[in-house]
Amino acid sequence: MHFEESYPILKTLNPEELTKSFGSPLYVYHAETIKRQYERLTNAFKGVDLKIKYACKANTNLEVMKYVRSLGAGLDVVSIEEAMIGLKAGYKAGEILFTPNSVSFEEIKKAVELGLVINIDNISILEQFGHEYENRVPCCIRLNPHIFAGGNSHIQTGHIDSKFGISIHQLRHVTRIVSTCKIRVNGLHIHTGSEILDSSVFIQVAELMFEAARSFPELEFIDFGSGFKVAYKEGDYTTDIEELANQFVSLFNGFCKEYGRKLQLWFEPGKFLVSEAGVLLVKVNTVKTSMATVFAGVDSGQNHLIRPMFYDAYHHIINLSNPSGKQRIYTVVGYICETDTFGWDRKLSEVREGDILAILNAGAYGYSMSNNYNSRLRPAEVLIENGQPRLVRRRETLDDLLRTQEV
């Protein structure tokens, strides 16, 4: 299958109609792709008590979150604000895992008051939690396995220099705090980062987690985070979910038998669920030829999709307005007054001013990482469900930018 054929959203797009109705630039999401990804996970891991916690930092649009909830998922949040949005989207507090880092204990207390599942990744916070709550409130503990999972170093969180999690080598310290403060640890959590290139990393992490779990007799779940790799371009490596599940389910069930009771297996996919479901539609403002480069300048920029500049991430780009045009080489750039490049030296069907380009894999960490640099406005968002597009976030206005300054 050709790379672009794996994106059903492209078959539902009418770019001219969408941009005429909702403006440009425009984020567009495809509900059925989210469902496909969710069901792929749940079908693969049928042999265990699986709970999916959607990592909503990938995309916090209320309607997207509601849709993911309708599929049966819980929620993973990293801030009290995300938790509040999750509650507004209809998630119950007990369905929400709160996994912050570098936050004050006051934020932890707010999460307890809301009734969230608390996940602690810091020894100092763990001590404070124990002194405050003892065994009255359970918690999960996030461990750092000191494993570099490969791929883009910007998005790996389980290596030795990571700020995330309590070192696996500090386990003895952790168990002493837990024992002294009578903390009821009901879960263990680990997350090695995004875009894990080698599925054997999950198996390696599982063995570490099972060893650590033997120190906690009251566990109800083990959360292995996510990191499942999706394709960003032709021939890209992806995580073979089915092959991973075949190995993982057997290992997990074997450990549960040894542990003495069945535990829940949690994963918290974000990008895996929503990345391929989204595209960013942009209009070509200018075609500019320099001494060395042909630039296609569009009506968007790193303020709307920062991943290419922030992570050096690749996003496939298609000219929807001239799909059968002659192939030429362009560098696609934005309208922000900085180096602002979506893609260098891309083969695109001949680009003309006014054409609509689609930037793929924009469903995750697109709008959620957007900003108002250069006082530019954020775009609208549209969700396509059963072939019908509907506005799920209006475009910003200048009044939105000024509202918090009118004191």
Say how far residue 168 (Cα) sits from the centre of its chain: 24
- Asked whether 293 and 328 are in contact (CB, 8 A), the reply is no
- Looking up tokens 């009418």 gives 14
The full set of domain ranges for the chain reads 45-271, 278-403
pTM of the model as a whole: 0.94
Structure tokens at 209: 């987690």
Residues 6+ apart with CB under 8 A from 181: 127, 129, 130, 131, 134
Distances (CA, A) of 332 to 24, 235, 336, 339, 406: 16, 22, 12, 11, 37
Structure tokens at 303: 């303020």
Q: Look at strands 356-359 and 278-289 and give their pairing.
A: antiparallel
CATH superfamily of the domain spanning 278-403: Lyase, Ornithine Decarboxylase; Chain A, domain 1 (2.40.37.10)
Q: Report the length, in residues, of the chain.
A: 407
From first to last of its 407 residues, what are the pLDDT tens digits of the chain?
Answer: 467 777 889 989 999 999 999 999 999 999 999 999 999 999 999 999 999 999 999 999 999 999 999 999 999 999 999 999 999 999 999 999 999 999 999 999 999 999 999 999 999 999 999 999 989 999 999 999 887 554 444 434 444 667 889 999 999 999 999 999 999 999 999 987 656 666 778 888 899 999 999 999 999 999 999 889 999 998 888 899 999 999 999 999 999 999 999 999 999 999 999 999 999 999 999 999 999 999 999 999 999 999 999 999 999 999 999 999 999 999 999 999 999 999 999 999 999 999 999 999 999 999 999 999 999 999 999 999 999 999 999 999 999 999 999 87
Can you say whether residue 352 is alpha, beta or left, with left for phi > 0 and alpha for psi between -120 and 50 degrees?
beta
Query: Helices 200-213 and 241-259, interaxial angle, to 10°?
Result: 10
- The CATH architecture that domain 45-271 belongs to is Alpha-Beta Barrel (3.20)
- Asked whether 149 and 129 are in contact (CB, 8 A), the reply is no
- Looking up tokens 């500019």 gives 288
Q: Which residues belong to the active site?
A: 337
- Asked whether 156 and 193 are in contact (CB, 8 A), the reply is yes
- Asked whether 127 and 108 are in contact (CB, 8 A), the reply is no
